[in-house]
Structure 1
């Protein structure tokens, strides 16, 4: 039996590319700070922490949009699992790399780890319609309510341990360079799925089309389509270039 063909919609790739460019600029500044060329507090300064939140939100929202399109176009589970294995494998590479660079704060549940788990959840729930808006709101709201809930029920402190803090029901943020737990971020991806399903029914042109892009848009669409490879490579390249520049000055 022939497999359903899936088409990439250019505006989703453009949106993803925008997040990638913003991420690159953010990480370039982070790396300058890592090499002590600038002095910034990326862990507490709202100027940087809110940028990180916005970048991750944009990535996860576009991931939700993409899943809505994939389900709408009849993507089979075999194709889904092939892509999922790529994401999960990349997440393991990030963990291994961060162990070398940040042994005391390595990444064990960062954005790729979170996406790998969330993709399965949103795939299973993509047909829940408008309920996804409510579920997304609850997932985001529970993140803010968790500290108070844990004060009321101290036994829930177990969720702060590394074995369970990937769920996001925490009152203390773990020491790690990248932390993207299910709560609240699953809510953002659910909103992306809900928005994508709504747009496909009412305004499919908002998501673009599969017509060949031109000029700058062509480059950005290509970047958006190779987002996983770009994500894995951009930090080693940036850090290598900065280190090289330091050796030449």
Structure 2
């Protein structure tokens, strides 16, 4: 059965961030992910994880100036030093939190391309992360939610992996983004999961990014495919609940009940 992680950046926002760990554990989650840990000391986050019996399974490397609209620096020429420093900071947190994977955001490119910059930054970052026992993830993000993002399609991401050949560089397959950009999710799962190059999955309802059972996805079918393919990673619940988070977890309770 797929293993689900609560995304504490989008879920449980009715609570202050530190209280979201307890709320997720109370709803039966065993793992969490979130966008960024850097507003908190790693020792405080470690305490929250341990206190509530949770595993940290994913967070993002520093993305540049997020509040100003930046969405990563790895593909931005002239930002190489900042990207390297961000990777070092992310790895410090990953080691402290025993987090096995970090997502590296590429960035927005309103004109032109910077594939060489992207590949060079990822190659250096993967080498550093490998020494720390951490996987780095790259994620295709849909053009509607994040216009101008450098990486949009699954084939592009897997081409980067093949070109660099780093065993600890993997794809973060978000079924919400994939459905909006290219669809055909069952084929994508059956094509890419068996390669071992998908390090993390994420889910949300399409088109509104609410509970995954809201909208056009047949999540029962998709979970069945993930189970059939024996995916051993985590499925991050990266969605915005329509109302209270716990009240909207009927989809998860039903799924667990049917597979108890």
Q: Return the TM-score normalized by structure 2.
A: 0.26
- Pick 1 or 2: higher relative contact order, CA cutoff 8 A, min separation 6: 1
Larger strand share, 1 or 2: 2
Larger helix share, 1 or 2: 1
Q: Return the TM-score normalized by structure 1.
A: 0.27
In terms of Rg, which structure is larger?
1
